[in-house]
Structure 1
Amino acid sequence: MQRICVIGGSRYFGKLLVERLHAAGHQVTVINRGSTRPPAGVEHVVVDRNDEAALTAALGSRTFDVVVDQICYTPVQAAIAARAFAGRTRRYVMTSTIEVYDPATAALPAVPPGVRVPEGSVDPAAWAVDLGLPWDDDAYLEAHYAEGKRQAEAVFTRAAGFAFASVRSAHVLGGGAREFTGRLAHYVERIARGGVIAVHAKVLPTVFIHHEELVDLLLWAVAADFTGPLNACSEGPLDVYEFTGIVGASVGREPVHRSVPAGAQASPFSFDRHYAMSNARAKQLGFAFSRTSDWLPGAVAEAIAGAATEVVAETAAEPVTA
């Protein structure tokens, strides 16, 4: 049994992580702003993580074996957490993202075609940090999501007081109506009704992970002792044609594609730049990944069931008229 703090943990795979940590017998504390309560038996600390004085006061004398940070998006948030948890935990795990490798958002080392991006392509120990940027502006943060994650990792990497690891997650799918990006539901709905999928003239693959597999990896990371960044993705990169082909087979309809000019907007998983991650480090450390093509049809079925449930709920909520 370990004392584990989860910052966030109120929705999607963060909520599932809290449930599984608690079911495994760990002493779990959830820190968030109070919009959603954790399961019974899980300690709930309601505080805004952006308020350093309030966070420090709310923590009181608590100490933890591991902190899992699900909602760190900026170097300012990382700096606050690094100070607040210094000496309170031996290990800090931050959930990061594949977006740190997006060459459209930063000047990154070129990766040869067909080569999956290793963690060293973005080294947080060497990444520049600028706390003076307008990180508290929602529009700025949305436009600089990837850079916020890169700089947050950099702050934690240089912090003293605990061992730090970041889990760079691939595109997360599964969970039906709970999937907060809605990207899989977008494809399911569009392909099912014969809508056109906009794609780049030359598409490149990316990588995915099922939300339950990501939780499995985070549970593993809690008990592990590795430090530094770790890529988390299922086996088998897919380009948008392969991805929509699996979705189409699951819904019983052939996808319709339309190529867009260079620079034009395409559908969510059509990429004209390469940043499919390598999961070699995680496998070397002992984590075994599933194959995307094995779980994606089930995730599509979850999305279809979730959409049907939402329609039923909306219909039941409609007023009855004579």
Structure 2
Amino acid sequence: MREICVIGGNRYFGKRLIGRLTAAGDRVTVVNRGSSAPPAGTVHLIADRDDEDSLERALGSRTFDVVVDQVCYTPRQAEIARRVFARRTGRYVMTSTVEVYEDEDTAAPVGEGAVDPRAVAVHHDLPWDDPEFLDAHYGEGKRQAEAVFAAGPDFPHVAVRVAHVLGGDDDFTGRVEHYAERIRAGEAIAVPPVNRPATYIHVEEIADFLFWTVGETFTGPVNAASHGSLSTGELCDAIAAHLPDGKVLLRAVEAGEVSPFSFSRSYGMDNSRATKLGFAFGDAREWLARAVAETLGKGD
């Protein structure tokens, strides 16, 4: 029986990961602030991960084979986690994001080497505790958190850079519904003049990927994305298929806010490292219709 700690993970693909771990016979300890109960069959520890003493007290003398950190957003959080878990786990898996590539302006799929966390400067003096600042600097926060974990060879870790996630009837982001509302009303959907496609991953597939990662031994950054890329138009057409009276109207805008899942720069990831390590991704175009149906409540 493996001892697995999951920090956060009470919703969306996190709860699916926990379900896979418990079904495999792992003993799972979930650490959160206590605002919601974790999935059944887990050990629940209540702690504020931003408070090092609180985290230490909650963990006591526990040790783990693997820690999966679903909610590390800043270098400060990473510093605390590294200090607390350095002597408690043999491997640390951080859920990172495609947003770490936000400054990579290329139409080609981006590989992990484009952002080397060992070369990323860490700035603890930035206002990471300000929610507005953190929201506006989400990718930078993740980059710097990766850099903290990568500082030195004594902390075996993985940074799973997750593509944009679609699917499930519990998608809390509201991004698919954003499009559905406009398509139903025949309202224009704002996109940038040069609107690049992006890579995506289904909610079940990223749960599968994280579960697989827990059982592997590789370290360092790894991209997690289904094969193929999707354009805003393809996503809208898949949504419109469930809204027969709706109409897709894409409108290019030079300035101002654009719709989610419309990008002026590349958010396409090269998944060849994970593929070579042994994970078999699906094709985004093959699961797109199912993902949209799940989120809009149109599934069988």
TM-score by length of 1: 0.89
CA RMSD of aligned residues (A): 1.6
AA aligned opposite 1:225: T
Q: Does 1:118 align with 2:111?
A: yes
Secondary structure of residue in 2 paired with 1:35: coil
Alignment partners' CA distance in 2, 1:12 and 1:126: 32
1:54 lines up with 2:15 in the alignment: no
Q: 1:269, CA displacement in angstroms?
A: 1.3
**Bigger CA drift: 244-253 or 285-294?**
244-253
> Structure 1, residues 92-147: CA drift from partner, whole Å, max 9, x if none?
000000111012xxxx5x53x3x100011110011110111111111211111110
Q: Does structure 1 residue 100 correspond to structure 2 residue 100? A: yes
Aligned residue in 2 for 1:74: 74
Q: Does 1:301 align with 2:293?
A: yes
Matched AA of 2:294 = E
Deviation at 1:161, TM superposition (A): 4.4
Question: Are 1:269 and 2:261 an aligned pair?
Answer: yes
The 8 Å contact of residues 205 and 239 in structure 1, kept in 2 or not, is answered as yes
Deviation at 1:264, TM superposition (A): 2.7
Using the alignment, how far apart are the partners of 2:221 and 2:243 within structure 1? 37
Distance in 2 of aligned mates of 1:205 and 1:70? 26
Give the secondary structure class of the aligned counterpart of 2:90.
strand
1:276-297 Cα offsets, whole Å, 9 max, x none, are 1111111111111111111111
Matched letter for residue 84 of structure 1: V
| SS of residue paired to 1:89 | coil
SS in structure 2 at match of 1:71: coil
Of structures 1 and 2, the larger Rg is shown by: 1
Q: Secondary structure at the match of 2:292?
A: helix
Match of 2:29 in 1: 29
Cα distance in 2 between the residues matched to 1:209 and 1:229: 17
Query: What is residue 214 of structure 1 aligned with on the other side?
Result: 206
TM-score, length-scaled by structure 2: 0.95
C-alpha displacement of 1:182 = 1.1
Aligned residue in 2 for 1:168: 161
Identity over aligned residues, as a percent?
55
Structure 1 Cα separation of the partners of residues 192 and 131 of structure 2:
29
Note the 1:106-255 alignment, pairs <5 A.
Answer: 108=104, 110-111=105-106, 113=107, 115-159=108-152, 161-176=154-169, 178-252=170-244, 253-255=246-248
Find the aligned partners of 1:190 and 1:23 in 2 and give their Cα distance: 40
1:259 lines up with 2:259 in the alignment: no
Contact 2:73 2:141 in 1 (8 A): yes
Separation in structure 1 between the aligned mates of residue 151 and residue 85 of structure 2, nearest angstrom: 14
Runs of 4+ with deviation above 6 angstroms:
none
- 2-side partners of 1:49 and 1:20: how far apart? 24
Structure 2 letter corresponding to 1:96 = S
Q: Distance in 2 between matches of 1:38 and 1:248?
A: 35
Contact 1:64 1:88 in 2 (8 A): yes
Equivalent-residue separation in structure 2 for 1:54 and 1:258 (angstroms): 50
Unmatched segments (≥5 aa) in structure 2: none
Do the aligned partners of 2:149 and 2:155 also contact (CA within 8 Å) in 1? no
Deviations 1:294-316 (A, max 9, x none): 1111121112218x9xxxxxxxx
Equivalent pairs counted in the alignment come to 298
